[in-house]
Amino acid sequence: MRKKIVAANWKMNMTQAEAARFVESLLLELGDIADVEVVIVPPFTAIAKVTEALGKSQNIKIGAQNMHWERNGAFTGEISAALLRDLFVRYVVLGHSERRTLFGETDKIVNRKVRAAHEATLRPIVCVGETLVQRDKGSVEKILSIQLHGSLATLGAKELQETVIAYEPVWAIGTGRNATPEQAQEAHAFIRHTLREMSDETTAERVRLQYGGSVNPENARELMSQPDIDGALVGGASLDPRSFAQIVLSAREEDKTAAPSATV
Ligand code: PGA
């Protein structure tokens, strides 16, 4: 049984004061929720504040949005896995499409980072996904296969099992146009199939696959009730604690039998 994992990717938003207020409200909404894994992914500058605001709560974890693959050294402006660990960070988002398109990250670079993350016992959330042009050309599976093989190259079964993969179709990110549950499930099933080929059945069954791209409180439940969708990576809707809390709550297993979402 894969535990659902829902992450708030704040991108380049949230001052320390805003982050503290967010966590305060989120804790009121969720308490120290244990049946869904919740990860807050602030900008580097708000990480310490989020940790402080979380106080004694055990189950809400912290992630980072990026890192460098080297352990330390002369890399002005970069952050290493060890520096993130020093801030109690547990997860790191790698290969987000914004990093790939705006900052030139290739699968090879993503792979170096993924391996460095594991070495430092940080769990990577590796993003993959096609552009609209690639989808229209019918190349979704080809692109996903290239990205998965490239980004996850040389990982052993244990490392793969401790990796989260986020399927984020580029055309759905920040556009308000989410993939339909069927489109998302189809891509997720293909990702799991590829993991089976790259590793083994047990490993493929254990890896958690998040969907990301315009997830909101209205569409979250239906998306996450698909058999191969094990959570969500949420951008825009994660900036509001109420919306994000609703998304987290709709990941609960008992909610699978609840009424279909309001979008239907
Ligand atoms: P969005 O972003 O929810 O605003 O579409 C998702 C992401 O980029 O992770």
Q: Residue with the nearest Cα to atom 3 of ligand 1?
A: 235
Distance 149 CA to ligand 1 centre (A): 23
In a domain, 263, yes or no: no
The count of residues in the chain is 264
Annotate 48-79 with three-state secondary structure.
HHHHHHHCCCCCEEEEECCCCCCCCCCCCCCC
pLDDT tens per residue, range 223-240: 999 999 999 999 999 999
Looking at 37, 105, 130, 168, which residue is catalytic? Answer: 168
- Tell me the pLDDT of the chain averaged across its residues: 95
The reported pLDDT for the residue numbered 254 is 60
In a domain, 84, yes or no: yes
In a domain, 262, yes or no: no
In a domain, 126, yes or no: yes
105 in catalytic set: no
Give this prediction's pTM: 0.95
Range of the domain at 85: 5-257
pLDDT tens per residue, range 73-103: 999 999 999 999 999 999 999 999 999 999 9
Nearest atom of ligand 1 to the alpha carbon of 9:
9
pLDDT tens per residue, range 148-184: 999 999 999 999 999 999 999 999 999 999 899 999 9
In a domain, 96, yes or no: yes
In a domain, 158, yes or no: yes
Q: What's the domain count of the chain?
A: 1
Asked if pLDDT for residue 139 goes beyond 60, the answer is yes
5 lines ligand 1 (CB under 6 A): no
In a domain, 264, yes or no: no
Long-range contact set of residues 259-262: C-beta below 8 Å, sequence gap at least 24: 260/221, 260/222, 261/218, 261/219, 261/220, 261/221, 261/222, 262/218
3-state secondary structure of 164: strand
Question: The CATH number of the domain where 194 resides is what?
Answer: 3.20.20.70
130 phi and psi, to 5 degrees? -95, 160
Nearest atom of ligand 1 to the alpha carbon of 176:
5
Asked if pLDDT for residue 261 goes beyond 70, the answer is no
